A and B are shown apart, each in its own frame.
Chain A
Amino acid sequence: MTIQFYYDILSQPCRTLYLFLKLNNLSFNKHVINLAKGHHRTEEFKKINPISLVPFIEENGVILRESVGIMRYLCREKNIPDHWYPKDHKSQAKIDEFIEWHHIGLRFPLTMFFRVCHLEPLLTGKEPLKSDVEWSISGMKISCNVMENFWLSNDRKFLFGDHLTIADLLAAMEIEQPRMCGYDPRNGRPKLTAYMNNIRAETNPYYDEACELLNSISAKKLSKQEIKSNL
């Protein structure tokens, strides 16, 4: 049975799941939910998913939400190579350590910056508060430094060795996001830069496919200097 995949390619966990499905040759039907146009708030969407979040999948009448839960499920149910989420208990605990940290440790601060400096001004037409900008930038930088100095301190190709895991896809897609507001976490962080290059090389052409829209928005943003001058 084909997986029904509901997503917006501008959302980080949606890109993660998109990459995971493509890299593992899992066939799926695309259901694009445009968050900027409020598609996730329509009555039709809420009937399927009352908590208005993407990504989610539907298969044989079962709806599953939350990118991490979906990938763990697919790793159990489909014929997925073990390296993505090893069955070995201790390896799994170590990957979980990163995955569970990343929600509030990485995703939240980077998303907050994106919200404060990009999304909210876009939705309200108002300039962000200076205190909000400062607060969100400092949180984002701390988080990027923890990636550089702690999670990537072992100089391996990927977070957990020479093979990709679901943790790498989650991390990379979060780290790409703030480029849309003119901040590239790679700058000044050599380990993070090398790591991001490794993931892109290993997952292309799908990586560039998933990031195509993000890349074109980021290119336009580069010509605007007002937020950059704050960084």
Chain B
Amino acid sequence: MSLKFYYDLMSQPSRAIYVFLKVTGIKFESKPTILGKLGHKSEEFLKINPIGQVPVIDDNGFIVRESVGILRYLCREKGIPDHWYPKESKAQAKLDEFIEWQHIGLRLPCAFYFKLKWLEPRLTGEKPLESEIERFQPLMLDSCDLMETFWLNHNKKFLFGNHLTIADLLAVMELEQPKLCGFDPRQGRPRLAAYMASVKSETSPYYDEANKIIDKLASMSKL
């Protein structure tokens, strides 16, 4: 009975699941799949996920893809404390509201900004297209502002109260990514800054463990 976890700590949803597995104490067999080394294009990995994306879990032969689906599955199957994804119907619907919004509302603008400014120039050696950056940069700023003025418009410690939920892990890992291109969403957004600090301290030491690689790369690109 083993849970295999395929991931790359450069990937935001991979980090969210990594922290979740560690904090909840679910034992897993680590299967690092390094995107930079085309691990996601290897024959072995494509058998597990033909669309070539991480994270993926293999729970005793049952394969689950997509971070949100994986987290919801683990909450149902592994006897996880209820606060992570409450069974109560309205509370769950409120969590889903954020989780389903964040794909295009938060992840997409932050991840595309990262892809255009950091990833693609390193892969192709070419400068990013200004017209594309002009499209995604304002979207990312709007998205961070919505975190500050709408989703965190309360005095709670986390998105949905004083306990962590899967929504928090998904959110913070997306918000960490653009620092690789010199943008820190915390700046000028006091609620967001306090919120991210709360998530980090609640999930210590795994938060820093998950972000070790991007922290290092971010400090290198500052030099």
Q: Are A73 and B108 in contact (CB under 8 A)?
A: no
Q: Are A97 and B69 in contact (CB under 8 A)?
A: yes
Q: How many residues of B contact A (CB 8 A)?
A: 35
The reply on B93 being an interface residue by CB < 8 A is yes
Q: Are A66 and B65 in contact (CB under 8 A)?
A: no
Q: Are B73 and A96 in contact (CB under 8 A)?
A: yes
Chain A residues with CB under 8 A of B50 = 150
Chain B residues with CB under 8 A of A68 = 96, 100
Contact of A101 among B66, B76, B104 (CB under 8 A): B66
Given contacts A51-B150, A93-B64, A150-B51, contact A69 B76 (CB under 8 A): no
The reply on B40 being an interface residue by CB < 8 A is no
Q: Are A96 and B66 in contact (CB under 8 A)?
A: yes
Contact of A69 among B99, B107, B150 (CB under 8 A): B99
- Alpha-carbon distance between A70 and B94 when the two chains are bound, in angstroms: 9
Q: Are A131 and B104 in contact (CB under 8 A)?
A: no
27 A/B residue pairs, CB under 8 Å, sorted by A:
A51-B101, A53-B101, A62-B90, A64-B93, A64-B97, A65-B97, A65-B101, A68-B96, A69-B93, A69-B97, A73-B93, A90-B62, A92-B73, A93-B64, A93-B73, A96-B69, A97-B64, A99-B69, A100-B66, A100-B68, A101-B65, A103-B103, A104-B107, A108-B108, A129-B131, A132-B135, A135-B132
**Using a CB–CB distance below 8 Å, which chain B residues touch chain A?**
50-51, 62, 64-70, 72-73, 76-77, 89-90, 92-94, 96-97, 99-101, 103-105, 107-108, 129, 131-132, 135, 146, 150
**Using a CB–CB distance below 8 Å, which chain A residues touch chain B?**
50-51, 53, 62, 64-70, 72-73, 76-77, 89-90, 92-93, 96-97, 99-101, 103-105, 107-108, 129, 131-132, 135, 146, 150
